[in-house]
Amino acid sequence: MRLQELPRPECYDLALWVDPAKDRFRGEASLELEIAPGTRSIELHAVDLELGTCTARDSSGEVRVARIRPNPERETLTLVLDRPLSGSSASLDLAWEGPLRTDLRGLYLARSGKRRYAATQLEAADARRFFPCFDEPDKKARFRVRVTTPVKNQVVSNGAAVRTEKRARLKTVYFAETPKLSTYLVALVVGELEASRPVHAGSTPIRVWCVPGKKKLAGFALEVAAEVLGRLEEYFGLPYPYGKLDLLAVPDFEFGAMENAGAVTFRETLLLVDPKTITLGEKKRVAEVITHELAHMWYGDLVTMAWWDDLWLNEAFATWMAFEIVDGWKPEWKMWLDFESHRAPAFALDALENTHPIYVPVANASEATENFDVITYEKGASVVRMLESWLGPAVFRRGVRQYIRRHRERNARAADLWRALEQAAKKAVIPIVTPWLTQPGFPLVAAQRVDRAGQSHLLVEQERFFANPKVGPDARAETRPIPLVLRVRPEKGRDRIVRALVEKKREEVPLGPASDVRWVYANADESSFVRALHDGAILRALGQELRRLAPAERMGLLGHQWAGVRADRAPLADWLDLVTRLGDEPEPDVLGAAHGPLTWLTDHAVPALANEHAGRFRAWLAGIFSPAFAKAGWSPEKGETDERRQRRAVLISMLGNLAEDAAVVEGARQRIGPYLKNRASLEPNLAGPVVDLAAQHGEPALYDAYLRTMKSARTPQERTRFEMALGAFRDPALIDRTLALSLSADVPTQDVVPLLARMLGNPSARERTWEFIRERWADLSPRVSPGLASRLVSALPALQKPLYRRQVASFFATHPLPTAARALKQALERFELDADLRARVVLDLRAYLRG
Ligand SMILES: [Zn+2]
C-alpha cells in the first residue's frame, strides 16, 4: 500500500480559497518533486477531492497529464503523463475543489453557536482529504501556504503570517515557508478568532487563539506553554524549531489536541481555563496535554517516525515527557500519581487476549488510527519510563539528545533511538527493550520471601498475566527481561532500593540479612510495567504498614490485588481488607485507585445480592469513608491543601454514588440550586461530584436548568460538566431527551461519543441508549468520527447481559467500524470476563459481608 520511494516532494506551494460560510473550498498547488529519470506516471494521495487542471514540467518544458487513474483502495490517483520526465527534478501544478467536511477530519467545519470555522485535523492520514499530496510521514517537504478568505476572518497556519493583501471583501494571508514537515503536521484554522497578546519564551512568541469572548481564559495556557517550552529546550538541548507558537482552541475537535508544527490545535476544555473555577485535576490535565504537544515539536515533528508502525514511539515518548516536565515544574502536583491512574486502563486492556503488542505492523490508514489507544500511549510511556529508570536519567537524556540531533528534519525508526541510547549507556539496550515492544501483554511477578542461612531473598516468578483465568499454561509461559526495582523496609532506618534485572522464569534477588528485612515491595514507585502479587505473609505486612508505602505504591498495590481478583489469582477478601484501611488515606489518588473497582462491584455484583446484603455492602463502605467525610465537611478550611480539597470530592463520590449515603445525596441536592446561581458557592473540586449526584436524583426542572447552564456556560469545562451530567439523569423521559439531543447541533460532534459512553455507564439509561444506537444508527454514525469509534465500542460491555453481547457482535458485523475492529473484539472479550467475574465475586462478596 506504500507509495514508491520517488517521486518525493521537496516543497508544496499551496494557494487556498476557504470561506467557512461555504460548504466547499478550493486550492491550487505547485509541487517541486525529486523524481527518477524517465518517470511516466505520478501516484499521489487524494480522497473526496475533485481535481481540475494539472500539468507537469521538467527541464525541457511542460508535460500534459494524459489521464488520471483513480486507485480507490489505495486512496490515491495516478497521473499518467504524455511523455517521460527527464532529469531528477520536476514540478507539478494541480487545482482541486473539495467539501468542507463534517466528520472532524481533513479540512472540516467546526461550529460555535452561529459561527462557522474551517479547521484541519490531518493525523493519521487525512491530509489527502485536504489537498492532493504524498501523504506518508517520511515524505517530508517544505510548505508555502497562502489563504484567501473574507476579511472578517483570521487565518492561522504553521508558519508566521508575513503579509496580508486585501482586495474588496477578501484578503489573502501569506505564511512563512516552513521547515520540512510531514503532511500530517500541516495546520490551518480559518474563521472569526481572537488572539491573546503574545508572551515570549526566549525569542519564541506564544499566542492563544479562540472564538471571540474567550480570550480571558487563555492566561493559564500561556503560562504553561512559556514555562515548559524553556524546559523542553533545555531537555533536548535544541531551541524550539518553528519560530512562532500558536495554540488554538477549536470549538469542535476529535482528539484532545494535535501537535501541528507551530500551530497546535486543542479541544477548548484542554486550553481555556478560568483559574477561579477550575478543579485541580482539570488544571493538571491542561498542563499535561500542552506539554505533551510541545514535546512533540521535537519528538515527532522535528524527528518523525518513518512509518506509522513506529507511531507508538512518538506518543509513548511525548506522554512520558509531559509527566516528567510538569513534575519538574510543579512537584507539589504529584504528576506521577496521575500517571498511575492513567495507566490503569492500559493494564486492563493489556490483560486481554485481544490486546496487541506496542509495536505492530501497519498496512494502511485505518490501522494507524486504530493504534491511538492506551497501549500506544500509556503502556508505551510506562516502558519509556522503565527504560529511563534502568539506564538512569542523565544517560537516557544524553541518548535522546543524540538521537534528536542526528535525525532532525528527517525521519527515524525506533532502532535509531535504541542505538543512540546504547551509545550513551555503553551497554545493550535492544535485548531488554525489544520483548516489551514485540510481545503483547505484560508479566505477572509472583513475589515470595525466602530466608536461608540468615539471609533474605525475594523469589520472583514471572509469567504472562491474563485477566481470563481459563487461559492455559502454554500462553502464560513467557519470560522477558524485567528491570525490577524493590523497596526493602528494614527493621530500623530508611528503606533500601534494590535493583535487579530479572530474566528467567524463577529468580532469587538477595535482600540482605534476614534480621533486617521487615518486608519488601516488588515494584517500588511502580517503575516497572508488571503486576506484582505478593505472598500472604508479605501482603499482611504491607497491609499493616500501608502508609509506609509511597502513594504510587499504595495505588499499585490496590491495582495489582484487584487484577489478581479478576484473574482468580487473589481472594476478594484480601482486596476488601485493603480497602478497609483507606479510611484515613490522605491521598485522593489512592482513594481513586479503589474507586474504579468499587464502582465495578457496585454496578455488577451488588445488584445480584439480596437486598439485605446489598444494604450491608453500602453500610460497609459508609463505615469506612463516612468518618473521614464527617471530619472534612462540605467546606474547606482556610488555607486547606489541594490534596484535602480533592480528597473531599472523592469521598463525596464514594459515599454518594457507591454507598448511596442519604445525607451526602441530600447535601448535593441542597447545594446544586445555589451553585447554579453562583459558581463561587462551591469549592471548585466539588463541582463534578455535586453536579453529577444531583442529576442522578434530579427532576425535569433540574434537567432544564442544566441544559440552560450548558448553553450559557462561562468556561469550556463548565459546559462539558453540565453536558455530560445530562447523561446521568434516571427518569426515562429525560434519558430520551438527552439521546435526542445527541443528534442535534446542541451537542458538538466531538462530544457525541463521550456522552453516549456516559449514558452506557448509567444503569438507568444503558439499555435505552443501546436501543437508540441501533435504531438511529443512520443519523448517528456520521457523528461517530473514526478516531472516537473505538471509545463508543469500548463502552458497550457496560450492558453486561449475554443477550446484549450477541446483539453487539451482530450489529457491528453488519455495521462495521473499521477503526474499532480491534476494540470490538476486546469489548466482546470483556463482556465474557465480566460475566465470569460476576458469578465468582457475588459469592465471595456475600461471604465477606456475612463474616
Ligand atoms: Zn501525542
DSSP string, 771-792: HHHHHTHHHHGGGS-TTTHHHH
Predicted local distance difference test score (pLDDT) of residue 1: 82
In the chain (851 residues long), the average pLDDT of successive 10-residue segments reads 95 98 98 96 98 95 96 96 96 98 96 96 96 97 98 98 97 98 98 98 97 97 98 97 98 95 98 94 97 98 95 94 98 97 97 96 79 92 97 98 97 96 97 97 98 97 98 97 97 96 97 96 97 97 96 98 98 97 97 98 95 95 98 95 96 98 98 96 96 97 98 96 98 98 95 98 98 98 92 98 98 94 96 97 94 74
Tell me the whole-structure pTM to 2 decimals: 0.96
Residue 654 DSSP code: I
Q: Which grid cell is 299?
A: 519528538
Cα of 454 from ligand 1 centre, angstroms: 51
Cα of 85 from ligand 1 centre, angstroms: 40
Cα of 849 from ligand 1 centre, angstroms: 45
Predicted local distance difference test score (pLDDT) of residue 571: 97
Q: Which grid cell is 532?
A: 506484582
HEC per residue, 545-568: CHHHCCHHHHHHHHHHHHHHHHCC
With the C-alpha atoms ordered 435, 437, 439, 443, is the resulting torsion angle positive or negative?
positive
Task: Give me the helix-helix angle, 572-580 and 536-544, nearest 10°.
Answer: 10
Cα of 316 from ligand 1 centre, angstroms: 8
Distance of alpha carbon 531 from alpha carbon 445, whole angstroms: 6
With H, G, I as helix, E, B as strand and everything else as coil, classify residue 489: strand
Rg (CA), the chain: 28
Residue 141 DSSP code: B
* 295 alpha carbon, distance to own chain's centre: 15
Which residues make beta-bridge pairs with 762? none
Predicted local distance difference test score (pLDDT) of residue 815: 97
Give the Cα-Cα-Cα angle 582, 587, 589 (nearest 5 degrees). Answer: 95
Distance of alpha carbon 80 from alpha carbon 844, whole angstroms: 70
Catalytically active residues are 293
Chain position carrying cell 512562532: 244
Cα of 69 from ligand 1 centre, angstroms: 35
Give the Cβ contact number of residue 401 at 10 Å. Answer: 17
Q: Is the CB of residue 189 less than 8 Å from the CB of residue 155?
A: yes
Distance of alpha carbon 2 from alpha carbon 364, whole angstroms: 8
Distance of alpha carbon 158 from alpha carbon 243, whole angstroms: 10
Q: Are strands 482-489 and 455-464 parallel, antiparallel or unpaired?
A: unpaired
Instruction: Please identify every residue whose CB atom is under 5 Å from ligand 1, which is an ion.
Output: 315, 318
Q: Which grid cell is 211?
A: 472564538
Cα of 315 from ligand 1 centre, angstroms: 5
Give the Cα-Cα-Cα angle 828, 764, 838 (nearest 5 degrees). Answer: 45
Cα of 289 from ligand 1 centre, angstroms: 8
440 Cβ neighbours under 8 A, 6+ residues apart: 350, 355, 356, 357
**What pLDDT, in 10s, does the model give residues 63-99?**
999 999 999 999 999 999 999 999 999 999 999 999 9
Predicted local distance difference test score (pLDDT) of residue 591: 98
Chain position carrying cell 455492602: 617
Cα of 828 from ligand 1 centre, angstroms: 28
Distance of alpha carbon 569 from alpha carbon 837, whole angstroms: 12
Which residues make beta-bridge pairs with 72? none
Report which residue type is found at 467: A
Cα of 379 from ligand 1 centre, angstroms: 14
Predicted local distance difference test score (pLDDT) of residue 367: 77
Predicted local distance difference test score (pLDDT) of residue 631: 97
Which residues make beta-bridge pairs with 531? 444
Read off φ and ψ for residue 695, nearest 5 degrees: -65, -45
Distance of alpha carbon 330 from alpha carbon 227, whole angstroms: 11
